[in-house]
Amino acid sequence: MDWLTFISKLVEALAWPAIVVWLLWYLKEHLPTLASSIRKLKVSGVEMEFERKAEQLAAETQLALPEAKTTDSSDFEEPEVKRLRTVAQVSPRGAIMEAWTRIERLATEVIVKAGFDVPRRGGTHELMDRLLQLDVLTAPQVIAFQDLRRLRNMAVHANDEAVTPDAVDNYIRSAVAMAGYLEDTVEYVSNMKK
């Protein structure tokens, strides 16, 4: 290889990294603003996705649990919905976590009352499998249960700004409806054993 070819290959190999370094140096004053706008763009995407899925979940829950009280009227509002809305004012993700924890606790109660062992590993998937073995969830209820879990996971990994008040409200109402159904199921399973 002659010197001319060597220098040509060297310039070719260093051209893009040099341009990137120069561009970063040139825009160094604007990078913090640029970085925050990119972060906001990402948060906005998560926010829109969470809100859309929470709306779908509310509709699914309404169909899967038609007797559930999902009305906005404060005269018929469950105390748990009011309590979780209060929590959501301080921490939207905290309200979602509390709502989901209640569902898990009641699902575990159903399983215990039916005489099954509580799953040690596998978490929510095991709980759902046991509920399916008991035949206490219909296909639409299984979908709503899974979507509640997915949205809870999404909320845990997002920041509070990504979870809008309307989306949290939809999640709370759906979770309370599912928890209410599971609570009725605990009583039903308890009565069956008597």
pLDDT at 14 over 60: yes
Q: Is residue 26 one of the residues assigned to a domain?
A: no
Of 3-12, 42-51, 160-169, 178-187, give the lowest mean pLDDT range: 42-51
Q: Is residue 1 one of the residues assigned to a domain?
A: no
Structure confidence at residue 34 (pLDDT): 57
Structure confidence at residue 75 (pLDDT): 44
Q: Please write the tens of the pLDDT for every residue from 105-143.
A: 998 888 888 888 776 766 777 888 888 888 888 888 888
Q: Is residue 90 one of the residues assigned to a domain?
A: yes
Question: pTM for the complete prediction?
Answer: 0.68
Q: Is residue 17 one of the residues assigned to a domain?
A: no
pLDDT at 48 over 90: no
DSSP state string for 109-137 = HHHHHTTPPPPSSSHHHHHHHHHHHTT--
Structure confidence at residue 193 (pLDDT): 63
74 contact partners, CB below 8 Å, separation of at least 6: 82
Q: Is residue 162 one of the residues assigned to a domain?
A: yes
Band (pLDDT 50/70/90 cuts) for residue 2 is: confident
Q: Please write the tens of the pLDDT for every residue from 57-109.
A: 888 888 888 665 444 444 456 888 999 999 999 988 899 999 999 999 998 88
What's the Cα-to-Cα distance from 117 to each of 109, 112, 138, 192, rounded to whole Å?
11, 6, 22, 18
CB atoms within 10 A of CB 41: 9
Q: Is residue 8 one of the residues assigned to a domain?
A: no
Mean pLDDT of 29-41: 56
Element (H or E) spanning 139, and its range?
helix 139-157
Closest CA to 46 of 153, 175, 174: 153
Parent domain of 136: 44-193
Q: Is residue 173 one of the residues assigned to a domain?
A: yes
Element (H or E) spanning 170, and its range?
helix 165-193
What's the Cα-to-Cα distance from 63 to each of 67, 68, 103, 148, 168, rounded to whole Å?
9, 9, 18, 15, 19
Q: Is residue 23 one of the residues assigned to a domain?
A: no
Closest CA to 42 of 157, 192, 187: 157
What's the Cα-to-Cα distance from 188 to each of 105, 129, 194, rounded to whole Å?
16, 19, 10
pLDDT at 47 over 80: no
Mean pLDDT of 51-58: 83
Structure confidence at residue 74 (pLDDT): 46
12 contact partners, CB below 8 Å, separation of at least 6: none
DSSP state of 66: T
3-state helix vs strand vs coil in the chain, percent to 5: 80, 0, 20
Structure confidence at residue 39 (pLDDT): 43
Structural domain total, the chain: 1
